[in-house]
Amino acid sequence: MEIKSVILAAGKGTRMKSNTPKVLHKIMEKPLLGYVLDNVKDIVNEAYVIVGHHAEEVTDYVNSNYSFAKTVLQSPQLGTGHAVSMVCPYLANFDGLAIILCGDTPLITESTLKKFIEYHISCGSDLTVMSTIFDNPTNYGRIIREDDNSLKCIVEEKDATAEQKAVNEVNAGIYCLNWKKIKPAFSQLTSNNAQGEYYLTDIISWGKNQNLKVNAYILENNEEIYGINSRANLAEATRIMNTRKLTSLMENGVTIVDPSSTWISEDTEIGNDTIIYPSTYIEGKNKIGSNCKIGPCAHLRGGVEIADNCKIGNFVEVKKAKIDHNTNAGHLSYIGDSEIGANVNIGAGTITANYNPLTKVKSKTILKDNVKIGSNTVLVAPVEVQEGANIGAGSVITKTIPQWALALTRAPLRIIEGWVKKNS
């Protein structure tokens, strides 16, 4: 069965107090919307992202990163039901499942979405809502069930009675629809509520009136639908995601010496028997091999591939670099936009000067196998150091160094006897 998704990403996110649209705020350098799109990309054939606030910025991000997704403008923004109605012209003849999600829920997982869809199909539902249980359900829409346990309706907090507010099963904001049957609802929604908006939740009562089969699927881990509405929410979601990632890595043979000070992005792969030392921060998409040592106080900024048996040590920063096996960068170095061979040793304080501030061009540094770089070396890209060459400490390298050569750029040492006493 063909499946498409609709992702709600039009909101301003007023409580973020930011010029950046809420769905483009980042966790580990990846926008919130990116997490949602990544978690549906292997499930759906096509995704429609509803945009509104700063629509051009969100559209640029989607178009630059996700070929299976397209954006649809909601203007004016008249509620969640109105937002979904924007895709009706694009899905006029669609006869499959539509999954509706929010773009500010980065913790939802692909596994959960698959179980949700399987539940919808197995129950023969026409419409299924994902729900979850909160001890404190304040600010969430309440799930109201029929006597037979099917879904009766969802009541928003501002419209709920005292009895309904006491219900702790809440709307998780994710829907699975048999699109052809539910599509007519979006032209029949009304705005007769406290907010004067067209609520997506009203498709439940519409479906009941049409004698359609409506159900609710309870999500066990309520952290997965944690929404981002403030900077505090963003920090908490980051913490939850990081804890989840570190736990997964440790379960798969990676040593995290101090989980409380270690941050590793969801998109980083690490091989078994690698040790991550304290105060290490790894963001973006990276691949680290087995038997490596990373940190303490290392920073990997994304686009990094590190082969087996490597060491990235104290206060080393790496970004967009490929590093082959048995290579060491022990401390206080910057490795950017580089290809580093096997059995290379990079001395302390080495810098790849990869950016030209006048042309704004970033160039590549290439170090072939068995190269040795002395401490406090600057490699001014584009530059290549060929196999086996050695660079003397304190050198500035601006052109290709041939294999097995020694390269030095160092002023002669002068010793002036008695200078200190004469000038004291």
Distance (Å, whole) CA 34 – CA 310: 30
**How do 142-145 and 127-133 pair as beta strands?**
unpaired
Residue 381 and residue 364 in contact, taking contact as beta carbons nearer than 8 Å: yes
Q: State how far the Cα of 214 lies from the Cα of 125, in Å rounded to an integer.
A: 6
Distance CA 299, CA 313 (A): 10
Active site includes 331?
Answer: yes
Of 88, 109, 111, 106, which Cα lies nearest the Cα of 98? 88
| Both tokens assigned to 299 | 């920073």
* Axis-axis angle for helices 32-40, 110-122 (nearest 10): 50
**Catalytic residue from among 54, 120, 299, 331:** 331
**Cis peptide preceding 382, ω within 30 of 0:** yes
* Number of DSSP helices (H) and strands (E) in the chain, helices first: 9, 35
Packed helices 55-65 and 32-40: angle between N→C axes, nearest 10 degrees: 40
Distance separating alpha carbons of residues 178 and 346, to the nearest angstrom? 58
DSSP-assigned letters across all residues of 364-398: -EEE-TT-EE-TT-EEESSEEE-TT-EE-TT-EE-
Query: How far, in Å, CA of 393 to CA of 192, rounded?
Result: 75
Query: For residue 234, which phi and psi values (nearest 5 degrees)?
Result: -60, -45
Structure tokens given for 403: 């294999």
Active-site annotation, residues: 331
